[in-house]
């Protein structure tokens, strides 16, 4: 079995004067669930379009199942399930007609699974897609994306604009797909609490560059958030905050300093003591905190 489903090397992409992707190198292993996160315009959708072969690399290379998806679309795309925020479905078809239509493109299509999921999600096979609610369209698109049991499932903002129950159904099926097969899943979303719940590893993109990768828990363990009592008029403290050594982010907050650091509590407490300061509180850390701490445009002196 192939170890790396996706191999991306030194991928860059420009749209006129805008650098959408900047020297991206990335590997996706078999059987893992990856969360792709970043602000709007960070390059997430552009990266996904290269993976599914919708864009040809300008600089660098993209291989999926060992081949270029842009050059070998039939061989590569038959193993990929894809659902995007746009959910570009044929509005004139009924749900079952759409499943019959989709089956023709995938040799491993499982109509039994598709019918089971339509029943599970309460999708009437005779209902025309144009008459479906936004949530029903999303569920129908998801059924089409998973019913050939893809080796790679790519979800680009699949729950954007959906209600709570539709988001729950999509997340549940992502978890079920991951648990019942060896599918690799790439899940892009701006809803970071959802990403944190269902993914193994995180890929964080900022301004076209990958700035963080790794297991969710490992990333959070390197993003320790402390409220500290520091005298910022002290020259040593001022220099410490300016140089940013061991500091990911520093923000003045209600008379204290919120400092984010990869250091452990004991190591950071020693640094604070050397500066004549103390840790007053260790704050919890979520994936949303990590995202803000690494991508915020705030200056150090709020």
> What are the pLDDT tens digits along the chain (302 aa)?
556 899 999 999 999 888 999 999 999 999 899 999 998 888 999 999 999 999 999 999 999 999 999 999 999 999 999 998 877 899 999 999 999 999 999 999 999 999 999 999 999 999 999 999 999 999 999 999 999 999 999 999 888 788 888 888 888 888 888 777 778 999 998 889 888 888 999 999 999 999 999 999 999 999 999 999 988 788 888 888 888 778 999 998 888 999 999 999 999 999 999 999 999 999 999 999 999 999 875 544 44
Let me know whether 194 and 245 are in one domain: no
Structural domain includes residue 301: no
Beta bridge partners of 12: 59
Q: Give the pLDDT score at 172.
A: 86
Let me know whether 93 and 238 are in one domain: no
Let me know whether 199 and 117 are in one domain: yes
Structural domain includes residue 271: yes
Q: How many domains does the chain have?
A: 2
Beta bridge partners of 212: 204
Structural domain includes residue 212: yes
Structural domain includes residue 39: yes
pTM of structure: 0.89
Q: Give the pLDDT score at 298.
A: 53
Residue (of 289, 300, 296, 226) closest to 261 by Cα position: 226
Let me know whether 91 and 183 are in one domain: yes
Structural domain includes residue 154: yes
Q: How far apart are CA 293 and CA 86, in angstroms?
A: 30
The CA-atom distances, in angstroms, between 222 and each of 245, 260, 263, 286, 287 are: 14, 9, 7, 12, 12
Let me know whether 132 and 271 are in one domain: no
Let me know whether 143 and 247 are in one domain: no
Let me know whether 10 and 68 are in one domain: yes
Domain's final residue, options 186, 216, 246 = 216
Let me know whether 116 and 245 are in one domain: no
Structural domain includes residue 85: yes
CB 141 within 8 A of CB 83: yes
Full domain range(s) for residue 98: 4-216
Q: Give the pLDDT score at 2.
A: 58
Let me know whether 157 and 261 are in one domain: no
Domain's final residue, options 184, 216, 248 = 216
Let me know whether 136 and 252 are in one domain: no
The full length of the chain comes to 302
Let me know whether 179 and 245 are in one domain: no
Let me know whether 58 and 180 are in one domain: yes
CB 72 within 8 A of CB 65: no
């Amino acid at each position: 079995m192939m170890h790396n489903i996706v191999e991306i090397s030194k991928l860059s992409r420009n749209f006129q004067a805008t650098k959408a992707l900047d020297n991206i190198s990335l590997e996706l292993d078999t059987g893992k669930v990856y969360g792709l996160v970043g602000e709007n315009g960070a390059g997430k959708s552009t990266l996904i379009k290269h993976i599914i072969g919708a864009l040809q690399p300008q600089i660098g290379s993209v291989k999926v199942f060992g081949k270029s998806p842009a050059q070998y679309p039939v061989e590569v795309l038959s193993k990929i399930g894809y659902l995007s925020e746009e959910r570009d479905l044929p509005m004139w078809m009924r749900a079952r007609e759409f499943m019959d239509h989709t089956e023709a493109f995938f040799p491993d299509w499982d109509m039994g699974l598709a019918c089971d999921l339509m029943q599970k999600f309460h999708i009437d096979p005779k209902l025309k897609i144009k008459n479906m609610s936004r949530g029903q369209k999303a569920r129908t698109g998801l059924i089409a994306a998973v019913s050939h049991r893809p080796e790679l499932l790519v979800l680009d903002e699949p729950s954007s604009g959906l209600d709570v129950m539709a988001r729950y159904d999509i997340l549940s099926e992502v978890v079920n797909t991951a648990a019942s097969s060896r599918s690799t899943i790439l899940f892009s979303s701006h809803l970071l609490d959802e990403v944190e719940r269902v993914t193994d590893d995180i890929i964080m993109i900022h301004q076209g560059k990958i700035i963080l990768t790794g297991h969710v828990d490992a990333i959070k363990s390197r993003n320790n958030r402390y409220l500290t009592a520091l005298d910022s008029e002290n020259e040593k403290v001022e220099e410490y905050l300016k140089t940013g050594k061991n500091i990911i982010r520093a923000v003045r907050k209600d008379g204290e300093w919120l400092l984010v650091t990869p250091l452990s509590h004991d190591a950071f407490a020693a640094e604070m003591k050397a500066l004549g300061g103390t840790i007053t509180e260790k704050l919890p850390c979520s994936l949303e905190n990590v995202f803000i701490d690494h991508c915020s445009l705030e200056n150090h002196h709020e």
